[in-house]
């Protein structure tokens, strides 16, 4: 069963919604965007549980939520990265380093190493297990904006606007590069659960499934529109589907193996900028330029 029915619409954000994330239980949904406000929603009935105080002075670009729900991390277009205490409802730590917009956040499995990609082309690495506010390392191999980052020990991977996927092996200090051409500017990067495949959302209206070890392209997904925004595609649930927002106001699901469109959800007429999948159930959330969040089942 695929989510096709609109369950409810969440309203309250002013401007674009740029980040959505379910908690690990699927009971709550965090959202943020141009209005610099983080909101916590109940997934069961769509009620607003909490509106966090404004701590950013620019649009929030990404959110990470810890497994125990006690901590979340936000980034913004001015380069600020904040660590929040969910229960206290306030930011408790600022992380320094970026001098331009932070486009993407990711952290290690144990949630101690945080990585952030930036428009300036640098990737910053912080150790959250210490009290330091400064990065422990800065990766500066990119001359183009870093659009997406991920951590899967022992490597850190980055995708950039010049169409290059870079894999940094932390143990050997080797850097592997795979170019998909400047026309295929990469807007998002995710990893399959078995760690064998990368999924690359490109700004040429394609999504590419790539073998992690060889860099070979295994499948290409088409039908959506993506040429102007860093739209985050990923492999939800059991890795049998591909999910992506679309600039034509829809969100798309493809069959992973066949490459065919399994479903499309009409969010509205303006671009859908983010889509999140429930961790346990076939439930989706979409949001974007219209400021509304829609939950589908």
pLDDT tens for 166-182 read 999 988 889 989 998 87
In a domain, residue 126? The reply is: yes
In a domain, residue 87? The reply is: yes
User: What is the end-to-end Cα distance of the chain in Å, rounded?
Assistant: 9
In a domain, residue 291? The reply is: no
- Spell out where 108-249 has E strands: 113-118, 123-127, 137-139, 146-152, 155-160, 164-169, 175-179, 186-191, 197-202, 206-211, 217-221, 241-245
pTM for this entry: 0.95
CATH number of the domain within which 108 lies: 2.130.10.10
* pLDDT at residue 213 in the model: 87
Task: Tell me which residue of 99, 108, 185 sits closest to 149, measured CA to CA.
Answer: 108
In a domain, residue 116? The reply is: yes
In a domain, residue 173? The reply is: yes
Integer Cα distance of 151 and 276 in angstroms = 19
In a domain, residue 290? The reply is: no
Instruction: For residue 99, give its domain range.
Output: 14-235
In a domain, residue 190? The reply is: yes
**52 by DSSP, 3-state: which?**
coil
For the chain, the domain total comes to 1
Each residue's pLDDT tens digit, 206-264: 999 999 988 899 999 999 999 999 999 999 999 999 999 999 999 999 999 999 999 99
In a domain, residue 289? The reply is: no
Spell 242-266 as b/e; 16+ CB within 10 A means b: bbbbbbbbbbbbbebeebeeebbbe
Task: Tell me which residue of 109, 53, 110 sits closest to 82, measured CA to CA.
Answer: 53
Each residue's pLDDT tens digit, 1-19: 899 999 999 999 999 999 9
């Amino acid at each position: 069963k695929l989510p096709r029915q609109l369950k409810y619409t969440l309203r309250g954000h002013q401007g674009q919604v740029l980040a959505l994330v379910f908690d690990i239980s699927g009971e709550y949904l965090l959202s943020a965007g141009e209005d610099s406000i983080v909101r916590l929603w109940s997934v069961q009935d769509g009620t607003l549980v909490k509106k966090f105080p404004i701590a950013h002075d620019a649009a929030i670009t990404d959110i990470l939520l810890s497994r125990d729900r006690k901590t979340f991390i936000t980034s913004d277009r001015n380069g600020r990265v904040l660590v929040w205490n969910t229960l206290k409802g306030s930011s408790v730590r600022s992380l320094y380093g970026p001098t331009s917009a932070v486009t993407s956040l990711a952290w290690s499995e144990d949630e101690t190493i945080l990585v952030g990609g930036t428009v300036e082309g640098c990737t910053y690495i912080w150790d959250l297990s210490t009290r330091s506010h400064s990065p422990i390392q800065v990766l500066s191999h990119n001359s183009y904006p870093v659009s997406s980052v991920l951590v899967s020990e022992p490597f850190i991977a980055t995708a950039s606007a010049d169409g290059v996927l870079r894999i940094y092996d932390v143990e050997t200090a080797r850097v592997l590069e795979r170019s998909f051409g400047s026309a295929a500017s990469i807007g998002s990067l995710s990893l399959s659960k078995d760690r064998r495949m990368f999924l690359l959302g490109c700004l040429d209206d394609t999504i590419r499934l790539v073998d992690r070890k060889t860099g070979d392209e295994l499948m290409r997904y088409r039908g959506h529109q993506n040429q102007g925004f860093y739209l985050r595609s990923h492999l939800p649930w059991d890795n049998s589907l591909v999910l992506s927002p679309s600039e034509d106001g829809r969100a798309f699901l493809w069959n992973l193996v066949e490459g065919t469109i399994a479903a499309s959800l009409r969010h509205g007429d303006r671009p859908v900028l983010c889509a999140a999948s429930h961790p346990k159930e076939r439930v989706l959330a979409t949001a974007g330029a219209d400021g509304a969040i829609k939950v589908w089942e």
